[in-house]
Amino acid sequence: MTRAEELENRLGLLVKFGGLVTKETNLNKLLDLIAKQVEEILSSERCSIFLLEASTNELWSKIAHGIGQTEIRVPVGRGIVGQVALTGAPLNISDAYASEKFNPEIDRITRFKTKSILAVPLKNVNGNIIGVFEVLNKRHGPFNEEDEGILQLLSSLAASAIENAQLYETISQSQLETIYRLAITAEYRDQHDTAIHLRHISEYSAMIASSLGLAEKQVENIKYASPLHDIGKVAIADAILLKPAKLTAEEFEEMKKHTLYGAKILCNAQSNLLQVACKIAASHHEKFDGTGYPNKLKGGQIPLEARIVSVADVFDALCMPRVYKPSWEPEKAKEYILEESSKSFDPQVVKAFIDIYPDILEIQRQPDPRSTIIPGIHKNLKSGT
């Protein structure tokens, strides 16, 4: 390749990089994408992105390790990466193990052999350091000044994409938190185990959806919308909702309206998530054979999301104690779901449920995680996003 061809090639990669990174709003995927692109652009063996966590003054990174990923944390000031975060100045080291600044701990964890390192700060538009961008082991010779220039350019593109993704995650995490709190408030008169029941429904529904092969975004919508399925119970009188005995026919007619109230609360929303939640609230008591409520919808007339949540809801409702009934053994609840295949439930959804039944038992066995009422949030806080 001539020099001119090489430059043109790099320019092409840069343009592609800019286009790719501005489209991805999922932080983990964005970080992966950036790392892969940078490895290619700088002909290096590895690119690691360390993000600064202000509350602990640590840098964290997810690093490929065997088949999975390991989270690595480095205090600001420690090693090459910590030094760059502290001073804001790039470092170009041709032989890592000959440098006294190098911290070999990470290599020990990942069993990677670092040779050359080029590290530059990730700065946002205000010039604040939000992390460190590091490439390791250039394939031919040490990193040169041109590599340094390119990495700085890439790092400013990457920094703004990363900040956007972080902002986006904060917004949607706080939306989700609001939704969960709303759902819990609505139901907590009903049962004190509401939070755990909602978490089960959320996870079972997502697992069934995923096993049915739905797209990731759809699975996510079902996961976060499903806890709102009974929100209409806010409008049901205590005398009915809390009755520690069987409802009269008249009372049950009133109870059935929770689907209509729920739909009213959730419909005509802008967000996709709430639109899915509306369908689920409206139709989670419809039955596959057309004998359900409120509209006696049949088969495919019932939105798929509602057919999924219906199985998750009934299974978990059976396994939980209620003011009007004791809890059932999971095996008995599973038998009930099977018996109702093609009657109450979509047989394909039942099949998916049976396929993932061991995973469901696994979740059910987990101790009550009071602090993780809100799926995903606790985990995300821990990973520093």
Residue 258 CB, shortest distance to ligand C2E, in Å, is 7
First to last CA, the chain: 42
Residue 219 CB, shortest distance to ligand SIN, in Å, is 12
Interface residue list for Fe ion (CB under 5 A): 230
Closer Cβ to ligand SIN, 209 or 273, answer by number: 273
Closer Cβ to ligand SIN, 102 or 180, answer by number: 102
Please report whether residue 58 would count as binding ligand SIN according to CB under 6 A.
no
Element spanning 46, H or E: strand 44-53
User: Pick from 223, 229, 285, 334: which binds ligand C2E (CB under 6 A)?
Assistant: 285
User: Pick from 272, 291, 301, 383: which binds ligand SIN (CB under 6 A)?
Assistant: 272
What single-letter amino acid sits at 351? K
Please report whether residue 317 would count as binding ligand C2E according to CB under 6 A.
yes
Give the span between the Cα atoms of 194 and 328, in whole angstroms: 17
Rounded to 5°, the CA angle 50-51-56 comes to: 115
Closer Cβ to ligand SIN, 26 or 248, answer by number: 26
Residue 380 CB, shortest distance to ligand C2E, in Å, is 29
Specify the DSSP class assigned to residue 326: P
Bridging pattern class, strands 68-75 and 58-65 = antiparallel
Residue nearest to ligand SIN (CB): 79
Contact criterion met (CB below 8 Å) for 384 and 53: yes
Please report whether residue 314 would count as binding ligand C2E according to CB under 6 A.
yes
Contact criterion met (CB below 8 Å) for 85 and 59: yes
Residue 58's binding partner, choosing from ligand SIN, ligand C2E, Fe ion, none, with beta-carbon cut-off 5 to 8 A by kind?
Answer: none
Closer Cβ to ligand C2E, 78 or 243, answer by number: 243
User: Pick from 325, 332, 343, 379: which binds ligand C2E (CB under 6 A)?
Assistant: 325
What single-letter amino acid sits at 132? V
Closer Cβ to ligand C2E, 18 or 294, answer by number: 294
Contact criterion met (CB below 8 Å) for 120 and 31: no
Helix axis angle for 145-187 and 3-23, nearest 10°, is: 10
Closer Cβ to Fe ion, 117 or 228, answer by number: 228
Q: Which of 138, 233, 287, 334 is catalytic?
A: 233
Got the DSSP string for 262-284?
Answer: HHHHHTT-SSHHHHHHHHHHHHT
User: Pick from 15, 167, 323, 361: which binds ligand C2E (CB under 6 A)?
Assistant: 323
3-state secondary structure of 342: coil
Contact criterion met (CB below 8 Å) for 248 and 239: no
Give the span between the Cα atoms of 187 and 190, in whole angstroms: 5
Give the span between the Cα atoms of 159 and 155, in whole angstroms: 6
Q: Does 233 participate in catalysis according to the annotation?
A: yes
Query: Which residue, chain included where needed, has tokens 């979740």?
Result: 363
Please report whether residue 90 would count as binding ligand SIN according to CB under 6 A.
no
List Cβ neighbours of 378 (8 Å cut-off, separation of 6 or more): 369, 371, 372
Judged by CB under 6 A, the stretch of 30-38, 98-106, 192-200, 251-259 that binds ligand SIN is 98-106
Contact criterion met (CB below 8 Å) for 269 and 275: yes
Within residues 224-283, the interface with ligand C2E by CB under 6 A covers 243, 246-247, 255
Residue 84 CB, shortest distance to Fe ion, in Å, is 54
Residue 379 CB, shortest distance to Fe ion, in Å, is 28
Catalytic amino acids?
233
Which residues make up the interface to ligand C2E (CB under 6 A)?
A: 243, 246-247, 255, 285, 313-314, 317-318, 322-325
Which residues make up the interface to ligand SIN (CB under 6 A)?
A: 48, 79-81, 102-103, 106-107, 114, 134, 172, 175-176, 271-273
